[in-house]
Amino acid sequence: MGQPRILTIEAGDYHLMKKVATIFVIVISIVLMIVGHIYWNEKIHQSVQQALAQNGSHAVNKESKQQDDRKKQFIEYAGNLPEAIQQKMENAIFSNQPVRLVIFGSEATSSDPKGWPNLLKHSLDDTYGSDLFSVTVKEYKDMTTTEAVQEDIAQEIIALKPDVILFEPFILNNNGAVPIEQTLEDITTMLTEIQSALPDVVVMLQPAHPIYNARYYPMEVDELKRYAKEKGYIYLDHWTSWPDYKSAEIKNYIAEDDSTPNEDGHRLWADFLKDYFIAKKQ
């Protein structure tokens, strides 16, 4: 038998192999570190995305709940309002775009902070929140319906893009100056122009305040009421909340020149409208 061969490693070869092994270990370590880094980055990314998705879901659910709560709230208070306005309110809640209510008329529709329009606005804000109704008040002092047509105030109203208009159509200013037939014709001209530009606008009409012992003015107000019914407009008969115009008590609510309500009269008028726009809870 031959003698077994003995493998011998020279010192130089040994050191070379040791260096190669060391380099191999270093390379493997670097690769493992890179792979581990990528792995943990991916895990962190997934965790972050999952957390964001959960937070987004919670935010959507929270917003949805808030909208549902607001809808329940307005259903409780909007019972007196016509369906068309209730629908606009519901749309406003879910779109985060307010119902644009434009109130306009003579000096009886005062833009003063203590006037009934601003008192109504405060009541709406207190009940429904300040972002459900956007209220704009346009006061046209000493104007008749004929002058309103000539000056084309309808275009000013259209520019505001209202969802609902509450129009006090100068009927007291017209008294003794413009016949009721012309008054109603002028009202038709203005409303036709507004509705042609804004087909979905809801129209509400109301007279100015009553005055003491008037003779023809109450009959003209009755004509306005009949007109609103014939045309299918909402008529807000706030005269039912005032003292009888034939009674001296009415003087307690009207300015000395009869042109506007006084502070008490504005509150009385605003209270009527508040009860219409904000139904009492059952």
Q: Give 160-204 pLDDT, tens digit per residue.
A: 999 999 999 999 999 999 999 999 999 999 999 999 999 999 999
Q: Does 3 fall in a domain?
A: no
d(CA 145, CA 181) in angstroms, rounded, equals: 11
Instruction: Give the mean model confidence (pLDDT) for residues 257-278.
Output: 98
Q: Does 158 fall in a domain?
A: yes
Residues 202 and 268 occupy one common structural domain: yes
Residue 132 token pair: 């459900």
Q: Are 260 and 268 in contact (CB under 8 A)?
A: no
Residues 249 and 198 occupy one common structural domain: yes
Q: Are 235 and 228 in contact (CB under 8 A)?
A: yes
Residues 132 and 271 occupy one common structural domain: yes
- The residue ranking higher by pLDDT, 3 or 72, is 72
Q: Does 1 fall in a domain?
A: no
Q: Does 5 fall in a domain?
A: no
Confidence band, pLDDT 50/70/90 cuts, at residue 5: low
Number of domains in the chain: 2
Residues 212 and 242 occupy one common structural domain: yes
| Structural domain harbouring 59 | 11-77
Q: Does 282 fall in a domain?
A: no
Q: Cα 216 to the chain's mean position, in Å?
A: 39
Residues 85 and 108 occupy one common structural domain: yes
Residues 126 and 217 occupy one common structural domain: yes
Q: Are 109 and 157 in contact (CB under 8 A)?
A: no
Q: Does 157 fall in a domain?
A: yes
Q: Are 230 and 276 in contact (CB under 8 A)?
A: no
- Please check the confidence at residue 40 and state whether its pLDDT lies above 90: no
Q: Does 132 fall in a domain?
A: yes
- Going by the DSSP 8-state scheme, the letter that residue 281 receives in this structure is P
d(CA 282, CA 264) in angstroms, rounded, equals: 28
* Rounded (10°) angle between helices 11-77 and 116-128: 130
Task: Specify the pLDDT at position 45.
Answer: 67
Q: Are 231 and 194 in contact (CB under 8 A)?
A: no
Residue 202 token pair: 């809801």
Residues 120 and 193 occupy one common structural domain: yes
Residues 62 and 100 occupy one common structural domain: no
Predicted structure pTM score? 0.77
Residues 168 and 260 occupy one common structural domain: yes
Q: Give 212-248 pLDDT, tens digit per residue.
A: 999 999 999 999 999 999 999 999 999 999 999 999 9
Residues 73 and 86 occupy one common structural domain: no
- The residue ranking higher by pLDDT, 156 or 44, is 156
Domain with residue 196: its CATH number is 3.40.50.1110
- Please check the confidence at residue 14 and state whether its pLDDT lies above 80: no
| 91, 98, 274, 110: CA torsion to nearest 10 | -140
Residues 270 and 232 occupy one common structural domain: yes
The three-state secondary structure class of 137 is strand
Task: Specify the pLDDT at position 72.
Answer: 72
Instruction: Please tell me the total number of residues recorded for the chain in this structure.
Output: 282
Of 202, 201, 242, residue with least CA distance to 221 = 242
Residues 123 and 263 occupy one common structural domain: yes
Task: Specify the pLDDT at position 31.
Answer: 58
- Of 56, 77, 98, the residue at which a domain comes to its end is 77
